[in-house]
Amino acid sequence: MHDIHVVDLSRLQFALTALYHYLFVPLTLGMSFLLAAMETVYVTTGREIYKKITQFWSKLFLINFALGVATGLTMEFEFGTNWSFYSSFVGDIFGAPLAIEGLMAFFMESTFVGLMVFGWGRLRRGQHLAVTYLVALGSNLSALWILIANSFMQAPTGAHFNPVTMRMELTSLSDLIFSHDAQAKFVHTSIAGYVTAAIFVAGVSAWYLLKNRHTELARRSFRMAVLFGALATVGVITLGDALGFVGAQAQPTKLAAMEGLWKTEPAPMPFNLVAFPSQQEHVNRGAIQVPYVLSLLVTHSLTGSVPGFDQLEQQATARIRDGIPAVAALQTLSAKPNDADALAQFQAHEKDLGYGFLLQRYAPDVTAATDAEVADAARDAIPQVAPVFWSFRVMVVLGLAMLAYFVMAVIYTMRNRVERKRWFLKLAVWMIPVPFLANEAGWLVAELGRQPWTVYGMLPTWMSASTHSVGYMAFSLIGFVTLYTVFIAIEMYLMVRTIRRGPDDDHAGVIPHDRLHADRLAGYAEG
Amino acid sequence: MRTFMQFLLFMVLAIAVIVLAILLGDMGAWYFAWLVGTAMIVLIAAAGGVLLDTQDEHAAARRAAASADAR
């Protein structure tokens, strides 16, 4: 029997390492394509300023990339060290995308990053541009595979449980890769990275414009970043909706937690704009609702309805009872693999095996479980609502704020007047943390909302962890937090130092542009 | 010969894109949307940079013409 404190500490450790890691990832995903856009202008127009722009932002990209790789490596090992049962249970499915992700990251991405950094002056323009595009593609394809693996945990497809080997096995690689959840999640996550990079580049450029430093680099970077970010934000919101739509089918409990839906209501359902969910009493306090909106958002119709926790708990109870014979048959099969009766019993109840596992936490011998133990297990099928509910709202509000910011930014930059809007430049600098917070909130929704499962409906979290001691987990947790905090401090220091220094030999080769800028300022002074 | 090689390259690219669209479109639209969308976002951002240069050059030319007229 697992010590639940060890499970909680394992969850906390993975959550913290993932949240730390994810401070670096989105910038890599987005910055790589933004660099490709900058270098495309350099190659197509031949203007040296764009080479300088690309090289300057490449430095920041590299700092971020190095720390992203360092923080990501440990997570791959955590699956084996802290989640060994999970790894053995779904390793046949989870291992393949994880291995491909490693190949993408360490062979394609890292190789081409080396060429990108050291290739200036060694490769022809077109060749270097191709390398930059391959870095961008490699970064994002690396993310694709880890997100495919994550999507299997959210909505398992393309696999089945083999009662003889006692583990899940892959039945269709294409079902795994092309699952609706994987597609929507990858695009949503990748494009959220574009938004992050765009806000970062625009914010740093705005800081230069406020300080009247490196203005030619900053004006161009700002323009390109806001166009990049505006389009990407539209994409993120579209894909957020798609992901919600997919999630409504695949993970109804997550959707109910996101919306604070304790009771099933008839269509058209109202949307809880603000509420304070009470897990004990199964009610929302201080709810402010907008009529009709939930049905529209989740089902894209006014007649659609989604189940609340009252209905979902009843369904979980029924599935737990149906899962009892499956677990019992599995116990028989583990002792006698050729028992035909046990195999038939297992196959008849296989779809609810995971729910039987939920009950095992309270009743190791599931056949002797009491009604109270079944009710406890059914209550466990509901995630902690308040953190999911509020993380979702934080993500959405920040997403809409970024959209409004980019719309304003596009208007100002297309009028070529952004330098005169000092209040907006200050806002752009303050916007830098916003996408990072939105990204973290998004992952909290995805992972907290999936609870109590590591593989939704198949494998409960309580079973998935390794059997470490509390002391071991606490020690390694403190170690990781300390190490990763140092990493963040190093990243911040290097980033700030590089930004303060700006691009090297600032005025080389760009005199005509600086003159143009001086002319423009003279033009403003003349009105 | 160079023009022909370029034509060949772009034809291969175009056919590859069409085949990808058909294959990926059948299996799920979002991956394909990402490919097309990312290309579009990158190119529009690049065009934005070029447009800025053009705007600057036009503004400078206008000011130069205005100051010449004033003289």
- Which residue type is seen at A68? G
At residue A455, what are phi and psi to the nearest 5 degrees? Answer: -120, 115
Chain B positions touching A413 (Cβ under 8 A) are 48, 52
**How far is it, in rounded angstroms, from Cα A415 to Cα B25?**
38
At residue A361, what are phi and psi to the nearest 5 degrees? Answer: -60, -35
0.85 surpassed by complex ipTM:
no
Identify the bridge partners of residue A425 per DSSP, sorted by sequence position.
none
Min Cα separation A427/chain B (Å) = 21
For residues A316 and A378, is the Cβ–Cβ distance under 8 A?
A: yes
Q: For chain A, which residues make up each domain, given as ranges? A: 4-251+384-512, 309-380
CB contact (8 A) between residue B45 and residue A224: yes
Chain A positions touching B57 (Cβ under 8 A) are 516
Sign of CA dihedral A226, A231, A236, A237: positive
CB contact (8 A) between residue B52 and residue A519: no
**How far is it, in rounded angstroms, from Cα A3 to Cα A183?**
36
Runs of H (alpha helix) within A212-282: 215-250, 252-259
pLDDT tens profile B1-43: 776 776 677 667 766 766 665 565 555 578 888 888 899 999 9
CB contact (8 A) between residue B30 and residue A519: no
Which residues have a Cβ under 8 Å from the Cβ of A403 and sit 6 or more positions away? A230, A233, A234, A237
Chain B positions touching A29 (Cβ under 8 A) are none
CB contact (8 A) between residue A416 and residue B34: no
Centre a 10 Å sphere on the Cβ of residue A483 and count the other Cβ atoms it contains. 14
pLDDT tens profile A191-228: 999 999 999 999 999 999 999 999 899 999 999 999 99
3-class SS string, A154-169? HCCCCEEEECCCCEEE
**How far is it, in rounded angstroms, from Cα A287 to Cα A180?**
32
CB contact (8 A) between residue B52 and residue A523: no
Q: How far is CA A333 from CA A265, A266, A349, in A?
A: 43, 45, 14
Distant-in-sequence contacts of A110-113, Cβ < 8 A, 24+ apart: A110/A69, A112/A138, A113/A62, A113/A65
Radius of gyration, alpha carbons of chain A: 26
CB contact (8 A) between residue A519 and residue B37: no
Min Cα separation B55/chain A (Å) = 8
Give me the pLDDT at residue A306, please.
Answer: 87
The model's pTM:
0.88
With CA atoms as reference, the chain B residue closest to A526 would be B63
| Among A187, A223, A517, beta carbon nearest to B33 | A187
CB contact (8 A) between residue B41 and residue A224: no
For residues A475 and A14, is the Cβ–Cβ distance under 8 A?
A: no
Chain B positions touching A511 (Cβ under 8 A) are none
CB contact (8 A) between residue B43 and residue A41: no
pLDDT tens profile A414-455: 888 888 889 999 999 999 999 999 999 999 999 999 999 999
Residues of B with CB under 8 A from a CB of A: 27-31, 33-34, 37-38, 40-53, 55-57, 59-60, 63
With CA atoms as reference, the chain A residue closest to B35 would be A187
Chain A positions touching B40 (Cβ under 8 A) are 231
- Which residue type is seen at A425? L
CB contact (8 A) between residue B41 and residue A187: no
Centre a 10 Å sphere on the Cβ of residue A504 and count the other Cβ atoms it contains. 10
pLDDT in tens, chain A (527 residues): 577 888 989 999 999 999 999 999 999 999 999 999 999 999 999 999 999 999 999 999 999 988 888 888 888 888 888 899 999 999 888 888 888 888 877 788 888 998 998 988 889 999 999 999 999 998 999 899 999 999 999 989 989 888 888 889 999 988 898 888 899 899 999 999 999 999 999 999 999 999 999 989 999 999 999 999 999 998 888 888 888 888 888 899 999 999 999 999 888 899 999 999 999 899 999 889 999 888 888 887 888 888 999 999 999 999 999 999 999 998 888 888 888 888 899 889 999 999 999 999 888 888 888 999 999 999 999 999 999 999 999 999 999 999 989 988 988 898 888 888 899 999 999 999 999 999 999 999 999 999 999 999 999 999 988 888 888 889 999 998 998 899 889 989 999 999 998 886 544 444 444 444 544 544 444 33
With CA atoms as reference, the chain B residue closest to A217 would be B49
